[in-house]
Homo-oligomer: A and B are copies of this chain.
């Protein structure tokens, strides 16, 4: 059993709802880019702009979840006694990209 299961470090309900809503919108955006690519006269840079826009939207969802994690779980790690695990996994996820 790892520290997550022990301590019930769950994404808080409000952030979870917000994240879901934004991901649904991102899914719609990806579908829009797919439709755009059905057009054989699509211009590379227009496709590129849409892909970057989806990236930007995902960054915003990521920031939302990160803030929630910092506020709910990272600032309490000392009290809970799982500092090393919390810091290591956070550094890992932050370096990605």
Contact = CB atoms under 8 A, between A and B. Distances in A.
A27 B27 CA distance: 6
A45 to B, nearest CB: 5
Interface residues of A, number: 63
Nearest to A54: B58
19 contacts: A4-B43, A10-B41, A16-B42, A19-B37, A20-B37, A24-B34, A27-B34, A51-B62, A52-B62, A52-B97, A55-B59, A58-B58, A59-B97, A63-B94, A70-B90, A70-B91, A71-B87, A75-B78, A75-B86
Contact of A52 (B19, B40, B93): B93
Interface string A13-46: 1001001100110110011011001001111110
Contacts of A66: 44, 48, 91, 94
